[in-house]
Structure 1
Amino acid sequence: MQTLLRRLNSWLFALLVLLGGLAIGYLTSRHDRVADWTYRSRASMSPETRAVLAKLDGPVDIVSYANPQGDLRQTIAAFLQTYIRAKPDIHLSFVDPQKDPAAMRNLGITVDGELILHYRQREQRLDALNERSLTNALERLVRGSDRIVAFVTGDGERRADGVANADLGTFVSQLEQSGMRAVPLNFSQTATVPEQTDLVVLASPQASLSSAATKALLDYLGNGGNLLWLTDPGNLDPSLQPLADALDIRVLPGELIDPSSSAALGLKDPRMIPLGDYPPSAITRGFTLTTLFPEVAPLAEARKGEWQLTPFLRSSPQATMQSVGDTQTNALKGPLDFGFTLSRLSPSPTKSEQRVVVIGNGDFLSNSYLGNGGNRALGERIFDWLLGDDELINLPSRSAPDRVLTVSQSELSLLSFAFILAIPALLLLIGGFITWRRRRA
């Protein structure tokens, strides 16, 4: 009887194991659970991608022109499965490009597996299969058509395509990936700002603007154009005074110093102004990253006018203003503003609101300082607000996890000794001890 019960228990246990395996297989075929234990979940969809998907409030159709032979279709479907889980109304379909080569030529399909994304009669093409490229394409779908950003050139301004330390090439190249197109604007070659321009950037001119350039900028403002003006410390050039007057802004004749805040972050130059707190504004709402501004010109409101002026960059109370090139500070104490947003009802019948940003520093977006803290993220917010893309302002900032391991020569020697000698010797000792124990037994 006991033998029968023992056998029955064994068969029952085997049956329960089989039923458990079948149940697990059934559940996993219909429900998936993915856990990412990597640092900062780098193997999962980034918060930025999830935020972009949340902005797409309608279905997205993705058509892949991939050859059915091989594993390319399976690779594309597996890659997009994460997106489909996050946004179920993403629809993926495949087209065999070999069935109609003439149609493929008309569509401009040149890469096997090329994707075309459709959303609200907008279209984006993608020939690289990675999260960054796909997220940029989705962000361009949210934004709509490419935005034309004209950078004033010809008077020593920071170059939008430059690689010098003071230029803006790195930042602008990243903007262009998300649906902005940078073009030069030289007033020696044109008398007006082109009508299709969405934003004009005046980035720290080193020479006086011509009277024609000043008039063109004032006419552009008068017609409802949006402007980003980056200025630097020093006496304001007389050619720019009409622009400041039109914006009801004063550029104070000095620069900010903040020894206490700079020292707290280990900065030796008191002209480096770090910010971690920001006045409430449309640009800085929810923004908590630390930014760094070298050599800042303080700004002030000249008078009350038709512009709605809001400060969004402000120094600490410990900051003071000193004359450029002088070591003595003036009586003007902090907190001092050095960044303003300006808005008013647009004179243009095609826009409801005109927007301007004036900042007393042009270096924070330069190639040298772009990587400091949240400088790039703040710059993206500024451009999104100026271009009217308010729904993109609160997207999480793009950030790559630190994949670089810095090892000194002594640490490298220690690691080499450990892996080449110490660990193999330890394994030999353990093996010898186990062999000795077995022989004794």
Structure 2
Amino acid sequence: MSMSLTRRLNGWLFALLVLIGAGAVGFLTSRHAILSDWTYRSRASVPPETRAILAKLDGPVDIVSYASPQGDLRESIATVLKRYQQVKPDLHLSFVDPQQDPAAMRNLGITVDGEMILHYRDREQRLEALTELSLTDAFERLVRGSDRIVAFVTGDGERRADGQANADLGTFMSQLEHGGMRAVPLNFSQVTSVPDHTDLVVLASPQAALSAGAGKALSDYIANGGNVLWLADPGNQDPSLQPLADTLGIRVLPGEVIDASNAALGLKDPRMIALGDYPPSTITRGFTLATLFPEVAPLAQTRKSEWKIDPILRTSPQATMQSLDTTSSSVPLKGPLDFGFALSRLSPSPAKSEQRVVVIGNGDFLSNSFLGNGGNRALGERIFNWLLGDDQLLSMPPRGAPDRALNVSQAKLDILSIGFIVVLPLLLLVIGGLIAWRRRRA
């Protein structure tokens, strides 16, 4: 190879290396943000349930924040929403200075600096305080479209939707209200029928006999296409409930479920029914969380009707039905036993296509005492969403994060304290002394 060709090749190679070096410098000086969330269940990122709700919003969401430009409020809001914009790129944020037009702010009802209005199609939601929970609730209400009116029958010893007693459903309903459901009382001593625009009626374990007027009002509501959730309890065999059972073609059996096999799960009371598997149905599809039901009444179908009846809760084969009558000599009914039914049929009302009813032989699983057990709350949310026709919310991941508290006994805390306060400093001193001694000998 001639000397001139070698020089020419060296020149081309040098030029190529210069270009590669310039490109590398340009690439390295550009900003490339790489984010990685190593926290448990990625709790520092947008939660899975919020991601699922955002996926249901199949159009742009415009957020207008009425925040003053003074201070760092706007920057804080933009920083929080940036995480959500990474999940949903068509989530747009804009700011309006509330001081520019006070009259317009009064007309809009803006009273808090930084208050936000979320717009999605023809729906809107307002937020006065920006938190992860409040923002997720607002997105869920946008998906739902409007508040759902849930009427709880009262006046006959039923579980209260706003009660704080152990047997009441106050905790559960207060959580549902954040997502767009509104619980109202329904006392048939004051009204003769279910009010219009009621989306769901809940009959939660009445302790006294329903009046004839209440029974007729409920029957008329079902005949007109209304949706109902009936929570029954063992021993609740009041004749006033029989017309309702006949209308639905089911029966609450006169007994209580006993399952001694649950002792292997650490349950000492055989009346505690734990479930981990569920019959296939729209409500339980993909649901794998364990649930706990204390004192369960089994259910049975009595006849064929126009209702499509799907079991949603079923005991293990080891379960039996024990009669509540101690003098009865009847043979115990063996499992598996159904204690939850989802009923549906073509709606008699032209306003909707399908009518839905759920009957469960237990009301305690949603009570204040047992709501926090396993997937009780998640199952309750699925039941309510199905009854209200919000099928797009059925597959939402369960809310909530693992316990963030670290429970350490006093003995372990003393050991940790001694380790960090005494042992670790002494160890550092010993290591430093050894290093100094070796240097002197060298």
Q: TM-score range by the shorter chain?
A: over 0.9
| Cα distance in 2 for residues equivalent to 1:188 and 1:46 | 45
- Does structure 1 residue 288 correspond to structure 2 residue 279? no
| Cα distance in 2 for residues equivalent to 1:264 and 1:151 | 37
| Cα distance in 1 for residues equivalent to 2:430 and 2:86 | 51
**Contact 2:255–2:321 under 8 Å retained in 1:** yes
Deviations 1:336-358 (A, max 9, x none): 10000111111112111110000
Residue aligning to 2:313:
313
1:16-415 to structure 2, matched below 5 A, reads 20=24, 22-28=26-32, 32-260=33-261, 262-324=262-324, 326=326, 330-415=331-416
**Contact 2:207–2:236 under 8 Å retained in 1:** no
**Contact 1:321–1:330 under 8 Å retained in 2:** no
**Contact 1:166–1:367 under 8 Å retained in 2:** yes
| Cα distance in 2 for residues equivalent to 1:235 and 1:202 | 12
- Output the amino acid matched with 1:99: Q
| Cα distance in 2 for residues equivalent to 1:216 and 1:223 | 11
Over 3 Å counting, the alpha-carbon distance change for 1:361 and 1:427 in structure 2 is same
TM-score by length of 1: 0.93
Per the TM alignment, residue 314 of structure 1 is displaced from its structure 2 partner at its CA by 0.6
| Cα distance in 1 for residues equivalent to 2:331 and 2:76 | 65
Over 3 Å counting, the alpha-carbon distance change for 1:438 and 1:131 in structure 2 is same
Over 3 Å counting, the alpha-carbon distance change for 1:62 and 1:235 in structure 2 is closer
SS at match of 1:330: coil
Per the TM alignment, residue 181 of structure 1 is displaced from its structure 2 partner at its CA by 0.3
**Contact 2:313–2:341 under 8 Å retained in 1:** yes
| Cα distance in 2 for residues equivalent to 1:264 and 1:332 | 22
The percentage of counterpart residues that share the same residue type is 75
Q: Could you list the runs of 5+ residues in structure 1 that have no partner in the other structure? A: 1-12
Over 3 Å counting, the alpha-carbon distance change for 1:325 and 1:416 in structure 2 is farther
Residue aligning to 1:417:
418
Deviations 1:290-327 (A, max 9, x none): 11111000000010011111111111111100012649
SS at match of 1:391: helix
**Contact 1:199–1:226 under 8 Å retained in 2:** yes
Per the TM alignment, residue 258 of structure 1 is displaced from its structure 2 partner at its CA by 0.8
SS at match of 1:281: coil
Per the TM alignment, residue 20 of structure 1 is displaced from its structure 2 partner at its CA by 4.5
Residue aligning to 1:7:
none
| Cα distance in 2 for residues equivalent to 1:248 and 1:350 | 24
| Cα distance in 1 for residues equivalent to 2:211 and 2:110 | 47
SS at match of 1:209: coil
Per the TM alignment, residue 73 of structure 1 is displaced from its structure 2 partner at its CA by 1.1
**Contact 1:62–1:115 under 8 Å retained in 2:** yes
| Cα distance in 2 for residues equivalent to 1:330 and 1:114 | 65
Compute the RMSD of aligned alpha carbons. 1.9
| Cα distance in 2 for residues equivalent to 1:203 and 1:325 | 23
| Cα distance in 2 for residues equivalent to 1:94 and 1:253 | 62
Over 3 Å counting, the alpha-carbon distance change for 1:21 and 1:176 in structure 2 is farther
SS at match of 1:364: helix
Q: Could you list the runs of 5+ residues in structure 2 that have no partner in the other structure? A: 1-16
| Cα distance in 2 for residues equivalent to 1:14 and 1:433 | 51
Deviations 1:112-141 (A, max 9, x none): 111100001100001222221111100000
SS at match of 2:51: helix
**Contact 2:249–2:301 under 8 Å retained in 1:** yes
SS at match of 1:138: helix
| Cα distance in 2 for residues equivalent to 1:55 and 1:230 | 30
Deviations 1:83-110 (A, max 9, x none): 1111111111111111001111111111
Deviates more, 1:19-28 or 1:367-376: 19-28
| Cα distance in 2 for residues equivalent to 1:45 and 1:18 | 38
Over 3 Å counting, the alpha-carbon distance change for 1:270 and 1:307 in structure 2 is same
- Output the amino acid matched with 1:73: R
Per the TM alignment, residue 163 of structure 1 is displaced from its structure 2 partner at its CA by 0.9
| Cα distance in 2 for residues equivalent to 1:308 and 1:208 | 28
